[in-house]
Amino acid sequence: MNEFELINRYFRDERPRAGVALGIGDDAAVLALPAASQLVVSVDTLVAGRHFPENAEPAAIAQRALAVSLSDLAAMGADARWFTLSLTLPEADEPWLEQFSAGLKAAAEAYGCALVGGDTTRGALTIGVQVMGCVPHGQAISRCGAKPGDRIFVTGSLGDGAGALKVLAEEHALDTAERDYLRQRYYQPMARLEDGVKLRGVASAAIDISDGLLADLEHICERSSVGARIEVEKLPVSPALRKLASVKQCFQWALAGGDDYQLCFTVPAACIAALEALRADGLKAEPIGEIRADSGIECWLNGEPFVSESTGYQHFD
Amino acid sequence: MNEFELINRYFRDERPRAGVALGIGDDAAVLALPAASQLVVSVDTLVAGRHFPENAEPAAIAQRALAVSLSDLAAMGADARWFTLSLTLPEADEPWLEQFSAGLKAAAEAYGCALVGGDTTRGALTIGVQVMGCVPHGQAISRCGAKPGDRIFVTGSLGDGAGALKVLAEEHALDTAERDYLRQRYYQPMARLEDGVKLRGVASAAIDISDGLLADLEHICERSSVGARIEVEKLPVSPALRKLASVKQCFQWALAGGDDYQLCFTVPAACIAALEALRADGLKAEPIGEIRADSGIECWLNGEPFVSESTGYQHFD
């Protein structure tokens, strides 16, 4: 099987797709954006043994690869439209490809995001996904807009990614239901695209939590030249995580564990009413602290200073 | 040095760039396309030891990676605007990164193409480049439009990529000037972006020659449901290549060698006058054959059938 046969068999999809003038099978894809919109682009590379276990199920790897890339679009308030796939494989393993492409198709379908191109090469298993979406002109949510006094929110439970890694490494015993929940949170994190779209015009800054709440909130603080105070007892923690460890350990994971793919965002006082209306309409968002003028992030647990054991995943350390 | 320091030191560029509302340093880049244009996107992954020698100079690798990706935009008639970089490295080797980023910046500057995002991960040396450009709405040149009777052209000399590999492997002795020419053709192939833009409305189909003329022309033939006849003696061969081997060997490399990154394109009779005007105005384009109704590609050398030894680089064989 050569590269072209591989692409035809596992990745081509001839159905017409919104905005796709020319998809897989030419030198490049040709795409049409909606009027008065801007393009939002992000790329993520997952390396086997580093970003997912070597023996992970191919369908789960595909779903995770797409979700973590789309999570960056969610943090910008963009919708998800198209993606390209760079697949590096040690060999053209047909059962693996069958499952990987089935997982990828299911995830792409769920997100309404069309595969429009890519390439396959031989080498150590590595999955690169570049995602493309759109925002109405000028409405992207950056990391730069947080101001002192803005409230800080997260879209859902934190620490599950770190807990899942313990479960996957079988360091902890858990009932099947909680184990499955945490596995799914790791392999099939949901990119919070709908939440991000709702936050246009409401959030002053946003980021997705991939490296851990403290590390990612620190990016907002740096780019916005502000600091933050976190009320640790307000961090949302799932019931499954609570069964795995003490409440303090859960908070440590919630602060620094990473791999959660919730959104962390800031809301100025003038937009709190709009946010409350969104929450009343079903948006999950929990207040966890406040932006401060002084740099640095302070953590408090029930009025006492709380020290995080780690500040998150550091690439290339 | 962590990932963020690495990106800041080697890849961030704060200068304002056309169409870049938000570049490196946020969750995603935000880009504005010109009015009435479509987005053209392609991605290429280069793996060390497979797509370039392990010991190749970092600046040359960077230049080659960008050029081979941009070559796909050239084949669509698109301009080059932005790109993202996925860099997988065994370690954060500072001298290597210094040279790689210098080579990348020089190439990006030469093509007028801005780096807007990307990621760095640890693993076997692999370079992924996704390029983005634009075409006026509906003017992209696909592989699908070739019709029987269309003339086939190439934009410049063929076989140099294959010859360069022999020189790099030191299988052939050559004078310094020719050696340097071939090395440069391999490491710094020029994406024919200006040629591609000129061919809008003139070429009925186009492709860039990465796998070899026969293999790539076959893609046009398949997608257009046609065949082709090549007059082998018309294939442009460089003086440096002629010094390296017999004329027949040069033609073999020209037909199947790959790594040339010239454009191969087809022109209907109605557009030949427009093409001649472009050639008179400086466009390099040599006629090499004709599209036929019958499938398959025939090669003729001075009126005799000519058999190609190989049909080009087959990925995953």
Q: What is the 3-state secondary structure (H, E, C) of chain B?
A: CCHHHHHHHHCCCCCCCCCEEECCCCCCEEECCCCCEEEEEEEEEEEECCCECCCCCHHHHHHHHHHHHHHHHHHHCCCCCEEEEEEEECCCCHHHHHHHHHHHHHHHHHHCCEEEEEEEEECCCEEEEEEEEEEECCCCCCCCCCCCCCEEEECCCCCHHHHHHHHHCCCCCCCHHHHHHHHHHHHCCCCCHHHHHHCCCCCCEEEECCCCHHHHHHHHHHHHCCEEEEEHHHCCCCHHHHHHCCHHHHHHHHHHCCCCCCEEEEECHHHHHHHHHHHHCCCCCEEEEEEECCCEEEEEECCEECCCCCCCCCCCC
Count of other CB atoms within 10 angstroms of residue A246: 9
pLDDT given at position A317: 39
The pLDDT assigned to A264 comes to: 98
A21 touches chain B (CB under 8 A): yes
8 Å CB contact between A251 and A237: yes
Give the pLDDT mean for A51-56. Answer: 85
Q: Is the pLDDT of residue A224 over 90?
A: yes
One-letter amino acid of B310: S
A38 and B31: CB-CB below 8 Å?
A: yes
- What average pLDDT does this structure show over B271-300? 97
Chain A residues with beta carbon closer than 8 angstroms to that of B41: 28-29, 31, 82, 84, 116-117, 132
- Amino acid of residue A300: W
Judge: B75–A116 Cβ closer than 8 Å, yes or no.
no
Backbone φ and ψ of A291, nearest 5°: -80, 140
Q: Is the Cβ pair A6, B316 closer than 8 Å?
A: yes
Tally of CA atoms within 13 A in the half-sphere of A88 that contains its CB: 26
Sign of CA dihedral B166, B170, B173, B174: positive
- Looking up tokens 């499954």 gives A240
On whether any CB of chain B is under 8 Å from the CB of A94, the answer is no
Residue B12 to residues A73, A164, B43, B179: CA-CA distances in angstroms?
20, 34, 21, 35
- How far apart, in whole angstroms, are the C-alpha atoms of residue A17 and residue A116? 9
Alpha carbon of B314: minimum distance to chain A alpha carbons (Å): 6
| pTM summary value | 0.93
Express each pLDDT in A263-297 by its tens digit: 999 999 999 999 999 999 999 999 999 999 999 99
Any chain B CB within 8 A of the CB of A207? yes
Mean pLDDT of chain A: 92
- Chain A, 208 to 227: residues with Cβ < 8 Å from chain B are 208, 223
Q: Give how far B310 is from chain A: nearest CA, Å.
A: 15
CB contact under 8 A, A29 and B42: yes
- Each residue's pLDDT tens digit, B121-158: 999 999 999 999 999 999 999 999 999 999 999 999 99
Q: Residue A44: pLDDT band by 50, 70, 90 thresholds?
A: very high
Beta carbons of A3 and B27 less than 8 Å apart:
no
Instruction: Please give the Cα distance from A242 to A42 (Å, whole number).
Output: 34
Nearest CA in chain A to B119: A44
Residue B178 has pLDDT above 90, yes or no: no
Find out whether A137 and A36 touch, Cβ atoms under 8 Å: yes
Q: Which residues of B fall within a CB distance of 8 Å from A73?
A: 27-28
* Residue A24, number of CB atoms within 10 A of its CB: 19
Q: Label residue A131 by pLDDT band (50, 70, 90).
A: very high
**Closest approach of chain A CAs to the CA of B246, in angstroms?**
31
Q: What whole-number distance in Å separates Cα of residue A93 and Cα of residue A216? A: 37
The answer to whether B289 faces chain A, any CB pair under 8 Å, is: no
Q: What is the pLDDT of residue B1?
A: 75
In this prediction, residues B174-195 reach a mean pLDDT of: 87
Touching check for A18 and chain B: CB below 8 Å? no
Residues paired with B290 in a beta bridge: B151, B229
A40–B33 CB contact, under 8 Å: no
B139 touches A at CB < 8 Å? no
Q: What is the pLDDT of residue B313?
A: 57
Tell me what pLDDT residue B312 has. Answer: 60
pLDDT tens readout for residues A248-265:
999 999 999 888 999 999
Tell me whether residues B122 and A315 touch, CB distance under 8 A.
Answer: yes
**Does A317 reach chain B within 8 Å, measured CB to CB?**
yes
Instruction: Tell me what percent of the residues of chain A surpass a pLDDT of 70.
Output: 97
Q: Which amino acid is at A291?
A: I
Q: Which of B17, B22, B26 to mutate to test the interface with A (most CBs of A within 10 A)?
A: B26
Interface of B with A in 100-119 (CB under 8 A): 116-119
Which has the minimum average pLDDT: A19-23, B44-48, B50-54, B195-199?
B50-54
**Does the pLDDT at position B5 exceed 90?**
no
**A33: which DSSP letter?**
P
Tokens read off for B33: 């396309």
Q: What is the pLDDT of residues A149-200, one digit of tens each?
A: 999 999 999 999 888 888 777 767 778 888 888 888 888 889 999 999 999 9
Contacts of B282-286 with CB under 8 Å at 24 or more apart are B283/B155, B283/B195, B283/B198, B284/B155, B284/B156, B284/B195, B285/B153, B285/B154, B285/B155, B285/B195, B286/B153, B286/B154, B286/B156, B286/B234, B286/B235, B286/B236
In the DSSP assignment, the letter for residue A27 is S
Query: Looking at beta carbons, which residues of chain B come within 8 Å of A27?
Result: 42, 72-73, 75-76, 143, 206-208
Distance CA A73, CA A67 (A): 10
